[in-house]
Amino acid sequence: MRQRLTAGLVKSLTPQKNAYEVADTEVSGLTVMVCPGGTKTYFYRYRHPETRVMRRVKVGRADQLTVPQVRQMAQGYSRAVAAGTDPQQEKTIARAGTLREYLDGQYFEAIAHLKTREAIRASLKRDFKAFLNEPLAAITTWRLEKWRRARLDKGASVASCNRPLSYLRAMLTHAARAGLVKTNVARDIRNLREGETRVRFLTADERARLYAALEAREAEARAARVRYNTWLAVRGIDPLPLLEGRYCDHLYPLVVLALHTGLRRGELFRLAWGDVDMGRHMVTVRAENAKSGKPRHVPLNGPAMDCLDTWRAQQPDPSPGALVFPGKSGGVLDNIQTSWDGLRKAAGMPGLHFHDLRHDFASQLTMAGVSLAVVRELLGHADFETTLKYAHLAPETARAAVAELAGLPLGEAAPQEATG
């Protein structure tokens, strides 16, 4: 039966031997069910966005909601379905409760057959203490990756990270099957092998500390030059030129470009000004300088362009054949370990490797929704398997992909050009 639902019509519907429904002619899928006992309940019927199976979600009781309120709620469900969301699953997820509640309740009962269930529960509560009072849906792949990285940085063994993650992965598999979470977010975080290099990316706080350390290093270099000139003057020796440029040396621009282009250290060392196209906002890694042996083009976003423009103005020879970061003798720069060690120590990240800046570039792009195919192109990976290590953290053209980085905290923290 189909009629336009009104308060008067709903009130006039009388119970019968069997339950029956009346569908609204104004909002497709909205119905009111009249039960033999006289209870009248509104439902919204829809097809599951993926399986196309008919489902229904309870809207509310007729004695508690007005028809306009019910229509508004049904229209909200309709928009959710159009966007690919299952309203019934959303309600189920909302009832899932916190990690602690699920762990102590449904899941503990589900693993009752395991002799180790007490040990499993204790491990999950101990190792994921920060998540215990949060809804299951609040746990994300990115947060779990941060959790693992923080443990490893504190000296935890690979095994002590793999074990609790395996427990959590099994628990979230059960929750996903019960419809309490949309997907198992721990599924794509594979266990690490002993000695395996992990993906390292910077948090917003770490990025801010890195830039603060760079600025402090610049200030100290200028102050040190003034002190040294004073020492020279006392001895009647001509002073050295003051460090008046935006950058005192190569380290600051090297870090900025590594974060915003993902170029390897060796690729940056061998980069020539002829490889930098400021007009097209593009840098080219020549085949002879690329690890893969193949050339690639990497777009330059705002922070990278500003950095290169400022650094170029400071160079005595910015001709096409000159190196962007020449060594003291004018040849290829081959070692920045001493300055890098001092920087990462000052930033409070003694375990940070320069190559981690490349990982950060790829991780930020992946988490921003950039396709792995584009990430692979920008990084110059010879095989797709190498790029897949970023898959668990999350598409457009390469230029648009790097432009996204300029709007992330990474870009916001980028240095501003000094005036004067």
Q: How confident is the model at residue 198 (pLDDT cuts 50, 70, 90)?
A: low
Percent of the chain residues past pLDDT 90, beyond the cut: 50
Residue-level pLDDT at 403: 56
Would the pLDDT of 411 be above 50?
no
204-412: which CATH number, 3.40.50.2300, 3.30.70.260, 1.20.120.1760, 1.10.443.10?
Answer: 1.10.443.10
Residue-level pLDDT at 398: 40
Question: Which of 91-95, 179-183, 294-298, 366-370 is the least confident region?
Answer: 91-95
**Cβ atoms 124, 85 nearer than 8 A:** no
55: burial class by Cβ within 10 Å (0-12, 13-18, 19+)? Answer: middle
108-146 pLDDT, tens digit each? 999 999 888 999 999 999 999 999 998 888 888 878 888
371-406 pLDDT, tens digit each? 888 989 999 988 776 777 776 665 333 444 455 556
Q: What is the 3-state secondary structure (H, E, C) of the chain?
A: CEECCCHHHHHHCCCCCCCEEEEECCCCCEEEEECCCCCEEEEEEEECCCCCCEEEEEEEECCCCCHHHHHHHHHHHHHHHHCCCCHHHHHHHHCCCEHHHHHHCHHHHHCCCCCCHHHHHHHHHHHCHHHCCCEHHHCCHHHHHHHHHHHHHCCCCHHHHHHHHHHHHHHHHHHHHCCCCCCCCCCCCCCCCCCCCCCCCCCHHHHHHHHHHHHHHHHHHHHHHHHHHHHHHHCCCCCCCCCCCCCCCCHHHHHHHHHHHCCCHHHHHCCEHHHEECCCCEEEECHHHCCCCCCEEEECCHHHHHHHHHHHHHCCCCCCCCECCECCCCCECCCCHHHHHHHHHHCCCCCCCCHHHHHHHHHHHHHCCCCHHHHHHHHCCCCHHHHHHHHHHCCCCHHHHHHHHCCCHHHHCCCCCCCC
* Mean pLDDT rounded to a whole number for the chain: 85
Would you state the structure tokens that stand for residue 2, as one six-digit string? 């189909």
**Cβ atoms 66, 19 nearer than 8 A:** no
Q: How confident is the model at residue 68 (pLDDT cuts 50, 70, 90)?
A: very high
Residue-level pLDDT at 150: 82
- Structure-model confidence comparison of residues 79 and 412, the more confident one: 79
- Structure-model confidence comparison of residues 412 and 69, the more confident one: 69
Residue-level pLDDT at 184: 87
Question: Which of 116-120, 150-154, 358-362 is the least confident region?
Answer: 150-154
Would you state the structure tokens that stand for residue 388, as one six-digit string? 């897949």
Question: Which of 16-30, 46-60, 85-99, 383-397 is the least confident region?
Answer: 383-397
Residue-level pLDDT at 293: 85
Query: Stretch 26-54: mean pLDDT, rounded?
Result: 90
Percent of the chain residues past pLDDT 70, beyond the cut: 89
- Structure-model confidence comparison of residues 402 and 320, the more confident one: 320
Q: Considering the domain 2-87, what is its CATH architecture?
A: 2-Layer Sandwich (3.30)
Residue-level pLDDT at 96: 64
231-268 pLDDT, tens digit each? 999 999 998 888 888 899 999 999 999 999 999 989 99
Would you state the structure tokens that stand for residue 291, as one six-digit string? 């690890």
Residue-level pLDDT at 405: 57
Residue in the block written with tokens 């192109």 = 377
Q: How confident is the model at residue 24 (pLDDT cuts 50, 70, 90)?
A: very high
Question: What are the backbone dihedrals phi and psi of residue 321, each rounded to the nearest 5 degrees, phi first?
Answer: -85, -10
Would the pLDDT of 31 be above 80?
yes
Question: Which of 80-94, 120-134, 335-349 is the least confident region?
Answer: 80-94
CA distance readout (Å), 228 to 231, 233, 240, 248, 314: 5, 9, 8, 15, 22
Residue-level pLDDT at 52: 83
- Structure-model confidence comparison of residues 291 and 313, the more confident one: 313
Residue-level pLDDT at 373: 87
Residue-level pLDDT at 328: 80
Supply the pTM of this predicted model: 0.53
Residue-level pLDDT at 194: 64
